[in-house]
Structure 1
Amino acid sequence: MNDEDLLRYSRQIMLPEIDIEGQKTLLDTTILLIGIGGLGSPSALYLAAAGIGHLILADFDQVELSNLQRQIIHSTDDIGKDKVTSAKETLLTINPNIKITTLTNLSEDNIDEWVQKANIVLDGTDNFDTRFKINQSCVINKTPLVSAAVIRFEGQLSVFKGYEKNQPCYQCLYPATNNSDENCVDNGILAPVAGMLGTMQALQALKVILNLGEQLTGKLMIVNALDMTFRTLTLNKDSNCPICK
């Protein structure tokens, strides 16, 4: 790290749990963020600011006016741009010293290639089929997965390491059958709820990378923003799970 880095990250470095070595670890880390929407926007902003050395941003969509209510990484001038392009431009204004790779063609055919490049994956997508594919790739490639979901006034957050013997994967929580996709397009969402969960998703990623404190591995946090309650449930590995059994 140079003098500019020491000043930029000084408030983190002064934390004894992080120090210079921890900051170096962050600078050497690659994170794959899948979905640069309501969850991915705050996650990416905080991870870039915290000094994650390489962010891989994956999203095939373009910025629309209706996104701006909650997808805070984009602005009105970005309408019509690829979300990954808009996000990259914003992130580099915050931290021009990090590397950012953009993907608009992440698919079942190449997801393993990109997961293998990452130390950790953040899933900010909004449909089960995509989440299942991300989870499967993370289990196969033994990569931690931080998964979040938001709708209306509610959110969920968990860390999955289904490749470990006694740890569940995402599909242990949600079997592939009998799932109906609910999303904010059809049901709505209060903007700060996405901000809360996306920020907590970034926090969990940093804690996993640095092995800090209590993590949500094998646990599910459920947030109700209307009454401001946080519940944490223990998740068990499904012995019949087709992905991580």
Structure 2
Amino acid sequence: MSRTPSEEYRAYNVWDAPTRWFHWINALAVLGLISVGVMLLNDDALGLSVGGKVQLKQIHVALGYVMALNLIWRFVWAFLGNRYARWRAMLPYGPGYWGALRSYATAFLSGEPQQYVGHNPAARIAIVLILFLLLLQIATGLILAGTDLFWPPFGKWFAGWVAAPGLDSALVSPLASNTMDQAAYKAMRAFRSPIVTVHLYAFYALAAVILTHLVAVIVAHFGDRERRFHSMVSARFI
């Protein structure tokens, strides 16, 4: 819903509490994942031991579980929340959407952007991109958690693949190479290689989208008087 000039200073209750909790839990989880991920990418420069790298991977995966569960909750809430939390207010579809997008783009390019309560038409496209990248990171991350740490949901299967002959797969450890059949381990690493590549480049894309999102929020907050940051804290959109 866009705002007219006469409604410029009216306050609206927009983001309900579950939506706000999702937003900040997701923000903290992603920030933690990015921080740990950068350390893992620079493990040699940081002089990390094998044990230290495994510990960082454990923290990384734990944060990934938090992000995954939080995202699942958000998908459920998109069916139950208020009008601004539901799918029809988040996704780029519905009667009149493309006309609203063209109108928004024209107004933005003219230097007089339309103000919206909730997500504007362009933001709804960004939401789809962010959700896709989050899901891609979760899917590839869960597979890598199985190959690196033998953690759920796929860890038992990967442990069974690489377990040394006659060894119970529950005893396979990333810190004990003697628990693994080296030929099977090498084949498993070849299997995971393209998944690592997808996870890495999706990480770069997600970081870029998040940076763009932050810049857009700051510009809207200070340039157009849209109190988006304030509204995600207090629920009041002014």
Report the TM-score when normalising by structure 2. Answer: 0.24
Structure label with greater radius of gyration: 2
Of structures 1 and 2, the one with the larger relative CO (CA 8 A, separation 6+) is 2
**Structure in which a larger fraction of residues adopt strand:** 1
